[in-house]
Amino acid sequence: MKIGIGIPNPVPNTPGSLILDWAKRAEVAGFSGLVTIDRIAYPSYDSLTTLTAAAAATERISLMTNILLAPIYTPVLLAKTAASIDQLSQGRFSLGLAAGGRPDDYEITGRDFHTRGRDFDNGLEVMHKVWRGEALAENSWPASPTPTQDQRVPILFGGTSRQTIGRIVKWGAGWTAGGAQAAQSGPFADGVRTAWSEAGRIGEPRLATLAYFSLGDDAEEPSRQYLLDYYNIIGDFASRIAESALRSVSQLQEAARAFEDAGFTELYFDPTVASLDQVDRLADAVL
């Protein structure tokens, strides 16, 4: 199982220079990948911009949005941007995509929250046409560079619905589980593998997941306060998320073993404190 690390792009008041230093240090430390968390109605750094900068600052480490709220973006521009990052990073970029569940992200962008599933599916059709180089208007040029891998940018889909399974087997490279524990997400991962095989897909799906972390007594309270703020829209359940973050070496190592035993191929520890020493502390604990 590959072990990556999140970028603290949603942690409030994170300097832009720290994000670049974080990407460089994560690569030197030996993490397999960098991921972002995406929100619109929050003072976070844009995921696509962040990963473009990370691509320029690194050479080896993989890059993924985990996850991007796809229906909020117009599909042609999302496809064009994704293909551009794919080429600029020399094929290191993947899209983690989902419809999302927060109405405020849709409200402030003028998108329809209630049709997001249908918009998502229609957008996927358009995106793949763009990546194949098909003209979308009469006498027009293709809208984006050609991606480096099989005329598509790899997509991992988030969600736990029947529609998610359908998107994975039709369009996807795999599934990304979000922040659930291995015991909760493992059965759905088994279902993804079964559907993948039954659909005649070659090889095995990528199965990714993330887990919030902080390390050190000095990081515990800032970590908790960030998670309470980020998830305040869901009320009392925010406290459960804030308390469930992994905050010791033993918890991190136990989580890694559990996800590997559940068959996950990629685990990303997502930071809740934007301090560079968190990269080093995590590397010492799990690499």
Per-residue pLDDT tens over the stretch 24-75? 999 999 999 999 999 999 999 999 999 999 999 999 999 999 999 999 999 9
Q: How far apart, in whole angstroms, are the C-alpha atoms of residue 174 and residue 168?
A: 6
Q: What distances in angstroms separate CA 90 from CA 52, 60, 63, 192, one per listed residue?
A: 12, 9, 11, 28
Q: Are 33 and 266 in contact (CB under 8 A)?
A: yes
Mean pLDDT of 201-227: 97
Q: Which two tokens stand for residue 270?
A: 């997502």
Cα angle for residues 160, 249, 1 (degrees, 5° grid): 45
| Position 235 pLDDT exceeds 90 | no
Domain ranges of the chain: 2-128+154-286
Q: How far apart, in whole angstroms, are the C-alpha atoms of residue 28 and residue 52?
A: 18
pLDDT for 138 equals 85
Per-residue pLDDT tens over the stretch 145-167? 999 999 999 999 999 999 999 99
Confidence of residue 179 (pLDDT cuts 50, 70, 90): confident
Residues 6+ apart with CB under 8 A from 202: none
pLDDT for 2 equals 98
pLDDT for 147 equals 97
| Position 264 pLDDT exceeds 90 | yes
User: Average pLDDT over the chain, rounded to whole?
Assistant: 96
2-128+154-286 is classed in which CATH architecture?
Alpha-Beta Barrel (3.20)
Confidence of residue 237 (pLDDT cuts 50, 70, 90): confident
* Nearest in space to 212 (alpha carbons), one of 197, 222, 202, 227: 227
* Nearest in space to 76 (alpha carbons), one of 122, 45, 38: 122
Confidence of residue 233 (pLDDT cuts 50, 70, 90): confident
> Beta strand pairing status for 93-98 and 266-271?
unpaired
Per-residue pLDDT tens over the stretch 6-30? 999 999 999 999 999 999 999 999 9
Q: Are 177 and 264 in contact (CB under 8 A)?
A: yes
pLDDT for 178 equals 87
pLDDT for 185 equals 96
